[in-house]
Amino acid sequence: MDVTDFESLVDGVPAEAEAVIDGIAESLILLRDGAQVRAWLNVCPHAGRRLDWAPGKFLLSKSGQLVCAAHGATFELQGGQCLAGPCRGEALRAIAVQVRDGVVALVN
């Protein structure tokens, strides 16, 4: 299933897109890294809230880590691990995606 157009993503800037996973419409965090894209569910492991403060608007720390808008948990954007805050040691749920013909798609 296609998630979004690869060219719409800005390198290193988290973006949000919708995808149907296991029959459920989910919000995803997408991060372009060169020619690759990483994706996670937009669900914080602390209290299950979205991490963006408005759809697609994510907070980044000065060092480029993703900060949950709800209570400030801080995540690194390689593996999605929480480094600080109320869910330290937990991680975002990674979603497998691939770039194919200029489109970011779920890997089934």
Look at residues 13, 15, 31 and name the one whose alpha carbon lies nearest to residue 80: 31
| 93 lines the binding site for ligand FES (CB under 6 A) | no
- Which of 59, 70, 99, 106 binds ligand FES (CB under 6 A)? It is 70
Q: Write each residue from 20 to 59 as x if it is in contact with ligand FES (CB under 6 A), else as -, in one continuous string.
A: ------------------------x-xx-x----------
- Which of 17, 29, 68, 105 binds ligand FES (CB under 6 A)? It is 68
CA distances to 17, 49, 80, 93, 100 from 67, rounded to whole Å, are 18, 12, 11, 15, 29
- Between 4 and 42, name the residue whose CB sits nearer to ligand FES: 42
- With contact defined as beta carbons under 8 Å apart, do 15 and 56 qualify? yes
Beta bridge partners of 26: 19
Residues lying near ligand FES in the complex (CB under 6 A): 44, 46-47, 49, 68, 70-73, 85-86
